[in-house]
Amino acid sequence: MRPVQQKKVAGDRPVEILLVEDAPIEARRTLRALRKALVRCRVTVVEDGEQALRLLHQPAFRPDLILLDWYLPKKDGCEVLAEIKNDPELRRVPIVVLTISDRQEDIAAAYNGHANSFVTKPVNPEQFARTMKLIEVFWKGRGSPSSENPAPREKRKRQR
């Protein structure tokens, strides 16, 4: 597990992201896309489902968002998703399945398991960066367990 600090703007708390990705090349590609999109985040990377669950069961660690690969060693994305969504302490953490798969069976299984989103990783680096920015915009401040007193919706709109 390795935390990676991305750019932070003064006064704005970075998004805490848990990236569960077994392929180091794909993890680096995701981190590059986040940097290119200027997503203010702190990313912790783990390489398999068992590591992700061990980390999530530590009370001091609560990410704002989990980016979960579907095809993982030891415990796959479907198993990790099920354990998280069945845990009352973790079930509110948003999970975006971020994978190379575009198989309808995988998409259906993810949504049946209560994934919040299913995103097929774009091959093009610019499209991948735009995708990461859209994920940030959509999920940032949505009241995840580690959000620190998010501003009411009207105030957030005025601050932009």
Q: Model confidence over 98-146: pLDDT tens digits?
A: 999 999 999 999 999 999 999 999 999 999 999 999 888 887 755 444 4
Contact between 118 and 137 (Cβ < 8 Å): no
For the chain, list the domains and their CATH numbers.
2-159 (3.40.50.2300)
Q: How confident is the model at residue 3 (pLDDT cuts 50, 70, 90)?
A: low
Could you give the C-alpha distances from 107 to 45, 98, 101, in angstroms and in order? 23, 11, 8
Q: How many residues does the chain have?
A: 160
Q: How confident is the model at residue 95 (pLDDT cuts 50, 70, 90)?
A: very high
Work out the percent of the chain whose per-residue pLDDT is above 90: 73
Contact between 96 and 139 (Cβ < 8 Å): yes
Q: What whole-number distance in Å separates Cα of residue 140 and Cα of residue 134?
A: 10
Q: How confident is the model at residue 1 (pLDDT cuts 50, 70, 90)?
A: low
Residue 94 sits at φ, ψ, to 5 deg, of -65, 140
